[in-house]
Structure 1
Amino acid sequence: MPRIENSVVIEADAQHVFDVTNDIGRWPHLFDEYSHAKVVSEERDGRWTEILFELSNPEGSTWTSWRLLDHRELTAVAERRDPLHPFRYMHLRWSYRQVPEGTLMTWVQDFEVDDEFDVPLPTVVERMNAHTRQNQTGIKRKIESGV
């Protein structure tokens, strides 16, 4: 099972970083790969928020994902739901930890590529790793500039 793990330190409060990066409606402005984001359902029960949402990319692909936010531990677990392709599964865990310099934001992606996907796994991993770092750097810049 491939795993990608990347972290970045953002000069901001952990709660603020958690709130901004888990606001699905902001994702088209925070991430370069989403042209549209729509919350389908959201339920909050104390420390937990469960969200079902739809994402679209500039190429016109649309999929649904599920996310569970833990507001006490400042973590989010998520998975891509439908359609899964080009993955057999995609599980994510985002964590936020206050450090002296600000917030250490770590993203872990565990996934398996669909057998019918025509891009070799090492290329997929390399592209996803680079893209994750690019997104984290962009989010860092946007939050630190006052988004």
Structure 2
Amino acid sequence: MLIEAPLDLVWDMTNDVAAWPGLFDEYARAEILERSGNTVRFRLTMHPDENGAVWSWVSERTTDREALTVRARRVETGPFEFMTLVWTYHPTDGGVLMRWEQEFAMKPTAPVTTAQMTERINRNSPSQMALIKSKVEAAARAGDGSEPATPVVGARS
């Protein structure tokens, strides 16, 4: 996803985990549990799903500003065998190309298969990316960085 905004603004907004509920519309709460150097451990809580269930999990992210990369993983995996994410940022003449790639597998006991979760993520990601893009670009136009934002999502199973 190309975000038409300065790199520093894109980086700061998309890596401000505490502000993610204002950046993504699927998160109700982001609670920072621990910080150590460039690593943050946090709990994300989603808004209730169509069945009223509220999903929550602990993840960890490590930023590398020099390499313009973020590596993340779910610490509490829930129905996933594992989930890892890599965010990359590529400055361009028109802004910042941000990419978010996920690797995961579902546990055999999960309520959905890996293929079903891949389809679900791929269906939801474009709206989340568009929302993030619009919020970061609005903050860039305002010149104050006051609005929160994030990525191109590529789910792989």
- Match of 2:27, SS state, is coil
Please name the residue that 1:57 is paired with: 46
Match of 1:4 in 2: none
| TM-score of the pair, normalised by structure 2 | 0.81
Q: Quote the Cα distance in structure 2 between the aligned partners of 1:115 and 1:76.
A: 29
Secondary structure (helix, strand or coil) at the match of 2:127 reads helix
For 1:113-132, list aligned pairs within 5 A.
113-132=106-125
Residues 13-53 of structure 1: per-residue CA shift (max 9 Å, x gap): 12211110110111101112210001111123xxxx11111
Is 1:68 paired with 2:57? no
Deviation of 1:106 after TM superposition, in Å, equals: 0.3
Q: Is the 8 A contact 1:15 1:74 kept in 2?
A: no
Q: 1:83-121: CA deviations, max 9, x gaps?
A: x12211000000111011100000000000111113233
What are structure 1's unaligned runs of at least 5 residues? 1-7
1:100 to 93, 110, 113: 93
CA distance in 2, matches of 1:121, 1:42: 31
Give the structure with the higher percent strand: 1
Identity of aligned residues (%): 34
Cα distance per residue 1:63-94 (max 9 Å; x no partner) = 11111000111211000111x12211000000
Residue 75 of structure 2: SS of its match in structure 1?
strand
Deviation at 1:141?
0.5
1:18 and 2:11 matched:
yes
Check whether the contact 1:90–1:112 (CA below 8 A) recurs between aligned residues: yes
Partner Cα distance (2:66, 2:114) in 1? 36
1:79 aligns with 2:73: yes
Q: Hey, what's the Cα distance between the residues in 1 that align with 2:68 and 2:8?
A: 7
Q: Runs of 5+ in structure 2 lacking a partner?
A: 49-53, 140-146, 148-157
